[in-house]
Amino acid sequence: SRSEVLSVYTEVFGAIALAEYAKAAGDETVWQKAMAMYELLMPRLGRPSDTSLLGYPIHAEFHLHADDMCRITVAWVFNEIRPDPRFDDDLTLSVDSILKRHWKPELGALLENVAPDGSPMLDLPEGRMFHPGHAIESAWMLMEIARRRGDETLLQTAVEITLASLDHGWDREYGGLRYITNVDWTPTHSLEADLKLWWPHGETLYALLLAWDLTGRDDLAEWYEKVHDYTFSHFPDPEYGEWFGYLNRDGSRVWTAKANGWKGCFHLPRVLYRCYRLFGSTSASGS
Amino acid sequence: SRSEVLSVYTEVFGAIALAEYAKAAGDETVWQKAMAMYELLMPRLGRPSDTSLLGYPIHAEFHLHADDMCRITVAWVFNEIRPDPRFDDDLTLSVDSILKRHWKPELGALLENVAPDGSPMLDLPEGRMFHPGHAIESAWMLMEIARRRGDETLLQTAVEITLASLDHGWDREYGGLRYITNVDWTPTHSLEADLKLWWPHGETLYALLLAWDLTGRDDLAEWYEKVHDYTFSHFPDPEYGEWFGYLNRDGSRVWTAKANGWKGCFHLPRVLYRCYRLFGSTSASGS
């Protein structure tokens, strides 16, 4: 049925929205609903899973980086609202899985799909998949955890992930961050691989700003300027506001809708508000 | 499970491959297997179905033109090999559904998804979907049926569908046939809508050649030249042979693989062989 093809992201967005609303409204009943969704969601994340691609062999099992990213996204918000060792453990689980399973410093890549034990599966198209936007989105969450925990090693690794993803994923011919590549530049399975999407650019702006704020490194500031220029010259709609979502590789628009089944209000306000807070409240404000 | 997301096309290709092989090898056992697949496949086609998009409302039911196209593809091959009123009835069912449900001359469009009774559902993204390559692929099958049956009206309608699809779908800025549009040019749901794909171009070459052969119309010959020039300057691989499958809107390649889960050996040999036969054996050979 239709409901079976809906993605776990819907539940991720629902869980954090309920949690934030419970806090804003001071409503314990809503918090209970948020927790119920947390209980439903967490067991679905981190289990070996086949992907939605037409894979070879068709029933290969992968551990998905996307699951770690979902867990970190949800557990961070819940832990911010009501700190609890349980949420903190889910953050630790996410950090460990990303670093030990998916981040391959020798390849300069955070692999999107690996074997359940973290072994690369580079002989399969899914195993070669590099998703720069996902990698960078996880990286800034790792930076926030590193900042909270005072974990300098984690911070440095998160910066490395960000820079490796930009080095690999930036389109040197047309500008902008590629949506999906294979780590070895073999052909991807995704028809839309070469498009430029709004959300990886937004997530990258915040990752670079946070990384620069925490390290002061010039190379991060330079990347920020470059991504900023591409992003703000291509995505915002000067006439009606909001951002266009999907550009062809050459930067022309695939279409002009501000929302669809995937583009909702999740990424953009989140990262712009975080950027805004960062400009106003941290060491960056002094420079 | 994975098997539930596999498309009906796999079974379409399997059924006609088994049928053709049974004929080539004179193997009755294989023919029985082909018939078993026919029995499995036909009941799945033509029933109201939700689509694989994230639709609004999420459980809207559509009749899919793709189902008619699949039925016509399979029934034509089976009927060629062992003519039977049953197969001929399935062809008639397909023709009627395409003409009465999906072809909307007042819109100049063959709608990909309509209500089960054929009403347009233009208030839904799926209902606005126009798939020029699918429309043209069906059109040449209608022409072959029209030729066989001596049905001049059906032939003219099939030519109209072809020309309407080209008028709407041809990319006047970059050349090539768009993959997916909405009939009213509202934003589509498909991220890959603006790509240029190998198979719609192949199917269009044969449709135009057949239409020109059957009518001698100059406008069809002119379209053929235009599509021919784009196709052969963009898709064939001069170094290793075969065709590239997927181009960005601007004609640059998304990737260079010759096959993936969707690009197999179905479309290309089929249409090139049909073009070859047409050049060698019909009225066109005299001109």
Strands A196-197 and A246-247: what pairing? antiparallel
Give me the mean pLDDT over the B196-225 stretch.
98
Cβ-based neighbours of B282, under 8 Å, separated by 6 or more: B213
Give me the mean pLDDT over the B21-35 stretch.
96
**Residue B92 corresponds to which tokens in the numbers above?**
């008639």
Report CB contact under 8 Å: B249, A246: no
pLDDT at B32 over 80: yes
What percent of chain B clears pLDDT 70, i.e. is strictly above it? 92
Report CB contact under 8 Å: A191, B254: yes
Give me the mean pLDDT over the B224-247 stretch.
97
Other CB atoms within 10 A of residue A61 CB? 13
Instruction: State residue B260's pLDDT score.
Output: 83
Please, are residues B148 and B87 in contact by the beta-carbon 8 Å criterion?
no
Relative orientation angle of helices B198-215 and B218-234, to the nearest 10 degrees: 150
User: What are the strands, taking DSSP E only, across chain A?
Assistant: 63-64, 103-104, 109-110, 113-114, 129-130, 181-182, 196-197, 246-247
Instruction: State residue B18's pLDDT score.
Output: 95
CATH 1.10.10.10 fits B45-286, yes or no: no
Instruction: State residue B53's pLDDT score.
Output: 56
**Residue B38 corresponds to which tokens in the numbers above?**
């026919």
Report CB contact under 8 Å: A248, B194: yes
Instruction: State residue A51's pLDDT score.
Output: 62
DSSP character string of B179-233: S-EETT-PPPS-TTTT-EEHHHHHHHHHHHHHHHHHH--HHHHHHHHHHHHHHHH
Of A3, A125, A194, the CB nearest to B254: A194
pLDDT at B5 over 50: no
**Residue A286 corresponds to which tokens in the numbers above?**
């002094």
Euclidean distance between CA atoms A32 and B100, whole angstroms: 53
Q: What residue ranges of chain A have pLDDT lower than 50?
A: 1-5, 284-287
Instruction: State residue A58's pLDDT score.
Output: 66
Query: For the segment B57-94, what is each residue's pLDDT rounded down to a tens digit?
Result: 667 889 999 999 999 999 999 999 999 999 999 999 99
Please, are residues A114 and A120 in contact by the beta-carbon 8 Å criterion?
yes
- The residues spanned by each domain of chain A are 45-286
Closest residue in chain A to residue B6, using alpha carbons only? A54
Query: For the segment B99-152, what is each residue's pLDDT rounded down to a tens digit?
Result: 999 999 999 999 999 999 999 999 988 899 999 999 999 999 999 999 999 999
Instruction: State residue B48's pLDDT score.
Output: 74
Is the peptide bond between A125 and the residue preceding it cis, with omega within 30 degrees of 0? no
Higher-confidence residue: B55 or B105?
B105
Strand partners, B27: none
Instruction: State residue B51's pLDDT score.
Output: 62
Higher-confidence residue: B191 or A159?
A159
pLDDT at B229 over 80: yes
Instruction: State residue A284's pLDDT score.
Output: 47
Helices and strands, counts by H and E, chain B: 10, 8
Chain B residues with CB-CB distance to A under 8 A?
Answer: 2-6, 50, 52-55, 58-59, 125, 186-189, 191-195, 246, 248-250, 252, 254-257, 260-262
What is the average pLDDT value for chain B, to the nearest integer? 91
Chain A residues with CB-CB distance to B under 8 A?
Answer: 2-6, 50, 52-55, 58-59, 125, 186-189, 191-195, 246, 248-250, 252, 254-257, 260-262
Instruction: State residue B262's pLDDT score.
Output: 82
